[in-house]
Amino acid sequence: MELDQAETAALLAALELQIAWGADEALEEAPQDRTRARAPAAAVPAALPAAAPAARAAPSRPTPVLAPAAAFAPASRRAGELAAGADSLETLRAALAALEHPLRETAGNLVLADGVADSGLVLVGEAPGADEDRQGKPFVGVSGRLLDRMLASIGVERARNAYLTNILPWRPPGNRTPTDAEMNVFTPFVLRHLALVRPRHIVLLGGTAAKALLRRNEGITRLRGKWHSLEVPGLGPVPTLATLHPAYLLRQPAAKREAWTDLRLLRRALDGAPIP
């Protein structure tokens, strides 16, 4: 099989990620009786080069379920009005900049998005950190670098086929977790943002994004690993995958295994596999 440059790069990135994540043995989860005749292994789809042997051996997951779409009522009328009035990414940015909010006073730069707006794939994080605040771009710090490597392992790149944003456009002081009130103020803007860029798939990175958009009380470890349906006003239901935040993976490297399972789920959906 001939691989082109992009496929080779994707394979190498996947391999590097596997090694970085400690998958340096091509062992499967369950022992295999190789003395018994087996049906030929199913071909791995060409667009899934990232499935290195160790990763392919991950146990099958329960069938994904669709969560009921939740209606969202803006917490702040002013925020709701400003968000609803935005009819382009420029006016959305101007609306966010115009909204008086304590976070605006302590942050340096507004952080709206990075990547290809019409790529069809939007990843939503929590809030800018110090590096993002300085550069005015999401996910440019250490967790952003991990995110880039994770995405590269399934052939996704922010410069080519992904778009990144956050629930909060301003850095919370000291990188603290956003409060529910902050999430509620900015969620109408995120929903408007999604309606403007019209993703076919959404990935929620971490508990804050999952809580703000799915309006569910369960923690990220229960919400991750399956597709939900997010009702985006003006756009309709969008298949939405919740997964672990890269900053969490930096603190809990053992959880990278679950993140890898989620990435494979995403890759399959991007390749057109039906979302149950």
**Based on the number of CB atoms within 10 Å of its own CB, is 87 exposed (0-12), middle (13-18) or buried (19 or more)?**
exposed
Of residues 128, 169, 178, 239, which one binds ligand URA by CB under 6 A? 128
Q: Using CA atoms, how far apart are residues 116 and 229, in angstroms rounded to an integer?
A: 22
Rule CB under 6 A: say whether 129 interacts with ligand URA.
yes
Strand, coil or helix: what is 124? Answer: strand
Asked whether the beta carbons of 125 and 138 are under 8 A apart, the reply is yes
Q: Which one of 135-143, 178-186, 192-200, 255-263 is the stretch in contact with ligand URA (CB under 6 A)?
A: 135-143
When the beta carbons of 50 and 249 are compared against ligand URA, the nearer one is 249
104 alpha-carbon distance from chain centroid: 25
One character per residue 138-177, x = contact with ligand URA (rule: CB under 6 A): xx-x-xx---------------------x-----------
When the beta carbons of 18 and 240 are compared against ligand URA, the nearer one is 240
CB of 111 to ligand URA, least distance (A): 6
Asked whether the beta carbons of 117 and 199 are under 8 A apart, the reply is no
Q: Which one of 46-54, 75-83, 124-132, 262-270 is the stretch in contact with ligand URA (CB under 6 A)?
A: 124-132
Rule CB under 6 A: say whether 122 interacts with ligand URA.
no
Give the H/E segment covering residue 30: none
Sign of CA dihedral 169, 174, 140, 179: negative
Residue written as tokens 């509620």? Answer: 184
User: In this structure, what are the phi and psi dihedrals at residue 38, rounded to the nearest 5 degrees?
Assistant: -125, 150
CB of 137 to ligand URA, least distance (A): 8
One character per residue 225-264, x = contact with ligand URA (rule: CB under 6 A): ----------------------x-----------------
When the beta carbons of 10 and 242 are compared against ligand URA, the nearer one is 242
Residue nearest ligand URA, Cβ-based? 125
User: Residue 235 contacts by C-beta under 8 Å, 6 or more apart in sequence?
Assistant: 194, 195, 198
Q: At what angle do helices 142-152 and 256-270 cross, to 10 degrees?
A: 50
Rule CB under 6 A: say whether 132 interacts with ligand URA.
yes
Contact residues toward ligand URA (CB under 6 A) are: 125-129, 132, 138-139, 141, 143-144, 166, 247
